[in-house]
Structure 1
């Protein structure tokens, strides 16, 4: 049975101070349509720019995760995104009237309580999961960071932290399914070490910090004078160190709360992949930078697999629309510069052409004769000739026209084209042809592999009277 996407029933707001900026902000979760995903909208800025919660939009991971798009940024998004993933909400538009999400109590629980209060609505579209197909690894040896995503028909997390600290030591946290998030992980607050806290204060950060929304681990000797300075920063009469090495005798919600919060951060950062994941994520010593790098690796794999799914494999032996002789009645090119042998499909918006690459090609005489490879520029030329058939098909007397290049953009060569390959090109119009100018997106395939792609602009011009 397919799981349906869901959003929330009604808008719901939370207000608070940003951890690093110290600016007060109100954040409103709004229902959103199917396949919308997570988006932030900066309602305090002109034009109310929207920022997609996408790993490609991450611009900073120094003390949290910041995303930027359309000239606007939102900082510390991970706790909010973790709450949405934990509640299995797919589509939400998040309005924010400041540069940073409210830190609240340093956990995801206030966001979950707000979302639950709004209620949920199942939508018609099925939820599309990305199933981890095989072990995906990421590591940073210098920081002793190791991550792996493994195939599993659920969303399981295991996290280990080890800070070489006598206070924290080594800690582990795990959930066996995402439904455990609310009870086991959501309430766990952010934390930092005392030496980090002092550095952040010196750099004018954590303006919104408070020992009520962060666990401060005392990892060095501290005297009464230093405690008095910290009390002044946090507007407290006094601050003490508890026997377990936590400032202000704050009571931990779980013995391994720091490890659980690291797991929370990972879930939030991996939400930036853009699609719910099915798999088991194991991580040792994760941080925001590593989480984002890992998310980019997973997203790249998703994009690669999706591009393969959308590539149609053509039968080179199918009856052509035009054979070589018929092509020469349309194109002015002649051997050795005629680089299309057949047209397999032709409509008003797309064309599919075929080029059989043989060892008899004249360019192999000089292009790596000992290891022949079809030159990339000739692959683009063959693609353009295929697109030329599409453009010339719009006039009644194509034999009296030429197709001239105006622009080539975003050309990428993804694999070698070798003697014996059958190279199939598909060109699609990106917009209607106006004033004889055509904009096309072209790809070249060998079997199911995309070997070349480019965006082309061409113009048809009459060069002789009919």
Structure 2
């Protein structure tokens, strides 16, 4: 089932790479809205969807960008959101980066959990891949393999050929273990990497409390260049081991942190995954390649497979008064108290293609809206015990957008959900039409349910 928060929750802290103090507020969001970020410090307040298409950088963190507006270091928060099963959220930020906090996902997870999670009673998108595949970066000795499975199991292995950070392995089979056994794992790096990160304009908000730094040999601070200011005052030598004599928070902490990063990046697929993943030395770039591969495979399957309908056209005719040639819905795939999903097979023999347009047939936008409205009629009439005695009259259609052409021989999927509860027979809905997971049109619709028969 889809889930969101019961109420809003706030986090505040410095960004690891920008160094800016940022406050973020996670707000509940409607069914099918997904995870979205919004930069409220900017005039346009751009919405940035948490999807793989919006990834712009993967160097030491995941950056999402849309219309020249970006939000950085989203992976730890996204991992906590995914582990909690939250699928709809709007995350407002008054700065360019999600706070690093203690470098782990623990605070995000615990506060989101404490705020309370609300079930929205509509199925969450799932993808069960039945094909084995792998993504590999040989020059980095990195590889992610996928194997079919009925659940989600993730194994992470790391080996940096280091004398202070030995090989580690972790397997996550149950997300109930995420909070205590995985989420406290902090971000990490090697001392010899820090100078290059500073030169790249990163880690401006780094302190000794934001992660774990491994030192592979005793090092004189005079050789450390731009990172000397990070070293404790009075020290002349950085000793081999973990910088500042810090201890690992949990066993296999570094493999577990790579698991957090991987889960956060996988969440950008936008669905709940079924399968077994074995990741060797994962990082944000290979994680993004793997996620893109999963999305591509899911779309190839979705083009030919749809859920078994809960209503066929004969059943639809028992509820709606429409008849051919003005009945535009062939099947109902999902129906709940607050949502409905309908399907129309757009055939090349549709009567309107003869005149709209000859030689370049396109389904008229007004007919897309009519089909959407008919799907919404099923949702509206589902609120009364005897729908055959009622009609729905549409009062208003707002915020209409047509985004893609709808051509012959495709399948239109209509998804509608209530914007507010039905009161006094007034039904206010948000609707979206899809072809192959791409939105082709959308609108807000308001209808009145009227009893016509006694």
**What's the offset of the Cα at 1:153?**
2.3
TM alignment of 1:171-186, pairs within 5 A: 171-186=168-183
CA pair 5-441 structure 1, distance change in 2 beyond 3 A: closer
CA pair 209-234 structure 1, distance change in 2 beyond 3 A: farther
**What's the offset of the Cα at 1:277?**
1.1
Counterpart-to-counterpart distance in 2, 1:225 and 1:112: 40
The answer as to 2:238 corresponding to 1:276 is no
Q: TM-score, with normalisation over the residues of structure 2?
A: 0.69
Question: 8 Å contact 1:228–1:239 — kept in the other structure?
Answer: no
**What's the offset of the Cα at 1:47?**
2.4
CA pair 253-386 structure 1, distance change in 2 beyond 3 A: closer
Identify the match of residue 299 of structure 1 among 267, 291, 295: 295
Counterpart-to-counterpart distance in 1, 2:34 and 2:59: 25
Aligned length: 348
Identify the match of residue 204 of structure 2 among 203, 207, 217: 207
Secondary structure of the residue aligned to 1:251 is coil
Corresponding residue for residue 464 of structure 1: none
The answer as to 2:66 corresponding to 1:90 is no
Question: 8 Å contact 1:241–1:247 — kept in the other structure?
Answer: yes
Question: 8 Å contact 2:82–2:267 — kept in the other structure?
Answer: yes
CA pair 309-60 structure 1, distance change in 2 beyond 3 A: same
Secondary structure of the residue aligned to 2:296 is helix
Counterpart-to-counterpart distance in 2, 1:269 and 1:70: 21
Corresponding residue for residue 364 of structure 2: 429
**What's the offset of the Cα at 1:267?**
0.5
Corresponding residue for residue 155 of structure 1: 152
Q: Which runs of 5+ in 2 are unaligned?
A: 309-323, 329-346, 369-403, 411-434, 441-454
TM alignment of 1:427-466, pairs within 5 A: 428-431=363-366, 440-444=405-409
The answer as to 2:50 corresponding to 1:53 is yes
The answer as to 2:173 corresponding to 1:170 is no
Q: Which runs of 5+ in 1 are unaligned?
A: 313-345, 351-384, 395-402, 409-425, 434-438, 456-466
Corresponding residue for residue 213 of structure 2: 216
Question: 8 Å contact 1:154–1:177 — kept in the other structure?
Answer: no
Counterpart-to-counterpart distance in 2, 1:182 and 1:85: 12
The answer as to 2:283 corresponding to 1:287 is yes
**What's the offset of the Cα at 1:129?**
2.0
Corresponding residue for residue 121 of structure 2: 124
Corresponding residue for residue 135 of structure 1: 132
CA RMSD of aligned residues (A): 3.2
Question: 8 Å contact 1:210–1:234 — kept in the other structure?
Answer: no
Corresponding residue for residue 146 of structure 1: 143
Q: TM-score, with normalisation over the residues of structure 1?
A: 0.68
Counterpart-to-counterpart distance in 2, 1:281 and 1:149: 5
CA pair 239-109 structure 1, distance change in 2 beyond 3 A: farther
